[in-house]
Structure 1
Amino acid sequence: MTFDNDFPALKSSTYFNTAYVGLMSRSLYEFRSNFEKNYLLNADQYKIDAYDRLDQTHATIAAFIGSRKEQTYFVSNFSAGIRFVLDIFPKGSNVLYLKDDYHSLVEALEERDFNHFGLSIEDRIEEKIGQALTQNKFHALVISIVQFTHGLKIDFDFLHHIKEKYPKLLIVGDATQHIGTDLFDFESSPFDAVVCSGYKWLLAGFGNGFIALSDHFFAETNLSREDFYQKVFSGHFNILGAASLVFALEYLKANDFEKLVEKNKVLSQNLISELTNIGWIPEYHQRKPQSSIVSISTDEAVLNQLQDQGIRASYRGKYLRFSMHFYNSNEEIEKLITLLKQSITV
């Protein structure tokens, strides 16, 4: 299965940068163009219809991520959503997090009057989290499922273990670099809250995302579902963004999302293997499970050289970051490896 015709940007570059911005499909572009005509022609009815559809919007998101519809909320992006969630925590809460996690997550925490306990990121991060939990009583662990710089993916089995050991602990996850790359079932996951933007791996364009909350989250925070709903929807919402998210989720399902996930994993593993073969050892490449982000510790000048050859990637922290999605191919990996071997100096 190839997607070249539905993702025109693939014709002008070799795109390994979905972790920064997911590609827009031609299908989504046409949908958005037609959808906005309704606003042009029908004015107020456009907004009325959007609110009438909001329940179904939440049902579509909930079905995709395995959450409960009445505890799933559309938001405009991760940065807004994580602040809605953190606002529920009382002042003085002890919060455990990673100091070099996604900057918007860290900033949202540090903006608030919490007791902050930050850990450095390393290969044995689960062990460090476990040790920290024995030393203090924490209200919450707030963490990205996949680290945006180098792709380290937190071990779900470990999170289940600490949930059993510390049953009152709330685990809040930034799911933006995870959902869309792998299957995810919120209800069976160790998370009490996840927040996700839709413009990366879900390929939904800008202006959309979602929050999902667990029963445990509501019980521990004494929060009512109605109050949280009113907090999230205190003003108008991004109508085009919401419709685009629904379209994108249905697009993934229509194209057999489980097979797309499998292709993504195969491509990412192939990239890891090929880079290793030429002496470029990806960060955390021996951890299980792997994410769809493959990063190399090197100079930013290498990215500039690759961009001159039509390779799109990113430089984050000290890492050259490649991010594979289902619309990539083994031929593109071969092109990258050839360039690295023949003309790129580390």
Structure 2
Amino acid sequence: MAEEYLSGDFTACVRREFPALAHKAYLDSACIGVAPLRAVRAVTDLVQGMQYCPAESGTAMHGRLNELRALTRPLAARLIGAQTSDIALTESATHGLKIALESLPLGAGDEVLIPDLEFIQMGVMWRQLKDRGITVRTVPHDEAGRIGVDAARAELTREVKVLALSSVQWTNGFRADLAALSELCRKRDVWLVVDAAQHLGALPLDVRRTPVDILVCGGHKWLCAPFGTGFLYLNPEARPRLRRPLAGFFAARPPARTWGEAFLRPDLTPVQDYEFSEDAYAWETGGTGNYPGAVGLSAALSLLLELGPQHIEDHLRALTDHVTGGLDRLGLTVVSPREPRHRSGIVTFTTGRPTADVALMGALLAAGVAVSVRFTSGVGGVRVSCHLYNTLADLDALLAATADWQRRPRSGGRPGAPTPPRRSAAAQIVRQRALIDALDDDLMGLITARGGVSRGIRRSRLEGAMSRTDLAREREIVERFHHRLGQDGTRLALELLRMCKGDT
């Protein structure tokens, strides 16, 4: 299995999209994912294009930006087996949860259940409903760190109106039995709200087979998208029973074909009745959106769909098998579940002492292996996040650095000695070289893009019966480079002009 999914087209695509990770063991996607090259270029192209305002007017440009943002919804829908009309774009999982809290028809005396292993944000947000007379209770985990269906069932009293949980828990990677929980909630008429921030991008999820009422997901973890992105799924059967939050005019239907055309009508007034769609986008903020983030999320989603969610899960299964076996051989305790149906891309292990876990994390970071330490309700340890861009070599680096830390002498009952300066410096050089490689790749991409634009200008000049070259413009470019970089800038500008002329 490992060899099958660490070779071929899958690996070639991953290497092409994540060049900066070729020499870096990044195992912290549960905190922040790494953006693929296509997402970086999508954001860069959009932002750079804004300085030219390529549309004929600001109004046309704003409309174009809204159209680009809207292209993200169908990709998010495909990822979870939903319809485009079921998707609203958000800034984060937190933003999606905020919309859920504002939309659910809850009142005084109602109760909300969350697992006691939940990400702190889940508790922080639901707890704020206390002023409305709404109580939050927890479902306890068992001795293996699992949140069982029977445990949830035992807590479902008549007052419970919402079961809210992460489909994958952030500390130990426990993957909930969403199908069974969904069936349980439907029988009890309980709202099922799911935070899939540690799930989507790493594991498949199909809302047609596993119905949920509301699902939220941030973009910057396993989806590998820029910060300030995410999406919200609203079950079409649930939407008629939800309150629609206050929103801006982009969430309403324009009184003309487009809002740009509506602005031209002399009868347009700010105070009138506006019609809102029943589609999920009516739950969006309805103002100017995070357009760079949206195109970045769209590009990242396109990569996940291209690779295939099932292939990604198979790849992660091979990686987690490998690291779990290695940790067992080192005599460390794997906290994460081992049953296939409860596994995820997260493998958490512990030395048996939280202080030693933190010390080990420091040694791993110094060795160039990025991991985290997380605890909730007494469950946790060193958290290893295996994602699509990771390889067996990354995990071997983790295991080797961990074994090295175990061999170091202890003094006074304290964890191993600090990493020697030479080793720390070597690890830093590896990280810096990875950054150089990424920057070089960006430079080559920009030079290629510049050549394409330059050749387009030359064709336009020929079609307009103008001279092939504008010498005044070339002098302007050389002077600008010289002003910023001196004589080296002059030489660089001349070489760029030569490379980008091409054949017309």
TM-score by length of 1: 0.91
Report 1 or 2 for greater relative contact order, CA contacts < 8 Å, sequence distance ≥ 6.
1
In structure 1, C-alpha distance between the alignment counterparts of 2:277 and 2:193, rounded to whole Å: 17
- How far residue 322 of structure 1 moved from its aligned partner, in angstroms, is 0.3
After superposition, the Cα gap between the structure-2 partners of 1:225 and 1:284, relative to the gap in structure 1 and judged at 3 Å, is farther
| 3-state SS, counterpart of residue 164 of structure 2 | strand
Q: Decide whether aligned partners of structure 1 residues 34 and 74 sit closer, same or farther in structure 2, where only a CA change above 3 A counts.
A: same
Aligned residues: 344
Please say if 1:110 is aligned against 2:133. no
1:98 pairs with 2:115: yes
Report Cα offsets for 1:191-225 as digits up to 9, x if no partner.
11110011111111212100001133224436685
**1:132 matched residue in structure 2:** 155
Provide runs of 4+ in structure 1 moved above 4 Å.
222-225
Specify whether residues 226 and 54 from structure 1 end up closer, same or farther in structure 2 by C-alpha distance, changes over 3 A only. farther
Aligned partner of residue 139 in structure 1, secondary structure: strand
Q: What aligned pairs does 1:45-60 form with structure 2 within 5 A after superposition?
A: 45-60=60-75
Per the alignment, do residues 162 and 225 of structure 1 end up closer, same or farther by CA in structure 2, a change over 3 Å counting?
Answer: farther
Whole-angstrom distance in 1 between the partners of 2:81 and 2:318: 24
User: Conserved in 2, the CA contact under 8 Å of 1:47 and 1:239?
Assistant: no
**Aligned letter for 2:288?**
H
| Secondary structure at the counterpart of residue 171 of structure 2 | coil
Q: Is the 8 A contact 1:218 1:225 kept in 2?
A: no
Offset from partner CA, 1:216-260 (integer Å, 9 cap, x none): 322443668549644423322211111111111112223344322
1:155 matches 2:177: yes
8 A contact 2:197–2:218 mirrored in 1: yes
**CA apart distance, 1:137:** 3.4
SS in 2 for 1:87: helix
- Tell me if structure 1 keeps the 8 A contact 2:39–2:295: no
The answer (yes or no) to whether the contact 2:192–2:212 under 8 Å persists in 1 is: yes
Supply the AA of the counterpart residue of 1:125.
I
**Structure 1 residues 178 and 119 mapped into 2: Cα distance closer, same or farther (>3 Å)?**
same
Gap change, CA 1:311 and 1:247, over 3 Å in 2? same
**Cα distance in 2 between the residues matched to 1:146 and 1:188:** 18
Change (3 A) 1:183 1:226: same
The 1:219–1:339 alpha-carbon spacing in structure 2 relative to 1, beyond 3 Å, is same
Q: Output the amino acid matched with 2:369.
A: I
Q: Secondary structure at the match of 1:152?
A: coil
Partner letter of residue 168 of structure 2? V
Aligned mates of 1:150, 1:178 — CA distance in 2: 13
Deviation, 1:163, is: 3.2
Q: Distance in 1 between matches of 2:124 and 2:287?
A: 24
Q: In the superposition, relative to structure 1, how do residues 264 and 227 fare at CA in structure 2: closer, same or farther (>3 Å)?
A: closer
Deviations 1:173-194 (A, max 9, x none): 0001000111111222131111
Deviation at 1:5, TM superposition (A): 4.7
Call closer, same or farther: CA 1:215–1:337 in 2, change over 3 Å.
same
2:342 paired residue number:
289
Residue type at the aligned position of 1:290: R
Counterpart of 1:253 (choices 295, 305, 315) is 305
Q: Secondary structure at the match of 1:110?
A: helix
CA distance 1:30–1:79, change in 2 (3 Å): same
Question: Counterpart of 1:181 in 2: which secondary structure?
Answer: coil
When you count helix as a share of all residues, which structure comes out higher? 2
Q: Secondary structure at the match of 2:233?
A: strand
1:94 CA drift (Å): 1.7
Structure 1 residues 54 and 321, CA gap change in structure 2 (3 angstroms) = same
- Alignment-derived partner of residue 310 in structure 1: 368
Distance 1:329 1:79, change over 3 A: same
Structure 2 counterpart of 1:121: 141
Q: Is the 8 A contact 1:159 1:190 kept in 2?
A: no
When normalised by structure 2's length, the TM-score is: 0.64
Identity of aligned residues (%): 23
CA 1:225–1:282 in 2, change beyond 3 Å: closer, same or farther? farther
Of residues 162, 168, 171, the one that matches 1:146 is: 168
Task: Name stretches of at least 5 consecutive residues in structure 2 with no aligned partner.
Answer: 1-10, 245-275, 352-356, 408-414, 416-504
State the shift of 1:160 in Å: 3.5
Separation in 2, partners of 1:308, 1:314: 13
2:238 is aligned to 217
Structure 1 gaps of 5+ residues are none
SS at match of 1:215: coil
**Cα drift, residue 4 of structure 1:** 3.9
Rounded Cα–Cα distance in structure 1 between residues aligned with 2:220 and 2:386: 15
Q: In structure 2, do the counterparts of structure 1 residues 124 and 326 end up closer, same or farther at CA, with 3 Å as the change threshold?
A: closer
The separation in 2 between residues aligned to 1:344 and 1:24, in whole angstroms, is 33
* Per-residue deviation, residues 64-111 of structure 1 (Å, max 9, x unmatched): 211121121011111111100111122333211124411222111111
Coordinate RMSD, CA, aligned = 2.2
Counterpart residue type for residue 135 of structure 2: N
Structure 1 position 54, deviation (Å): 4.3
Pairing 1:183–2:204 present: yes
The reply on whether 1:36 has 2:44 as its aligned counterpart is no
Question: Which amino acid letter does the alignment assign opposite residue 125 of structure 2?
Answer: A
Distance in 1 between residues matched to 2:181 and 2:98, nearest whole Å:
22
Shift in Å at residue 325 of structure 1? 0.7
Paired letter, 1:192: D
Call closer, same or farther: CA 1:49–1:155 in 2, change over 3 Å: same
Residue in 2 aligned with 1:62?
77
Counterpart Cα distance in 1 of 2:218 and 2:180: 25
Bigger Cα Rg: 2
In structure 2, the residue corresponding to 1:111 is in which secondary structure? helix
CA–CA distance in 1 between the matches of 2:71 and 2:369? 39
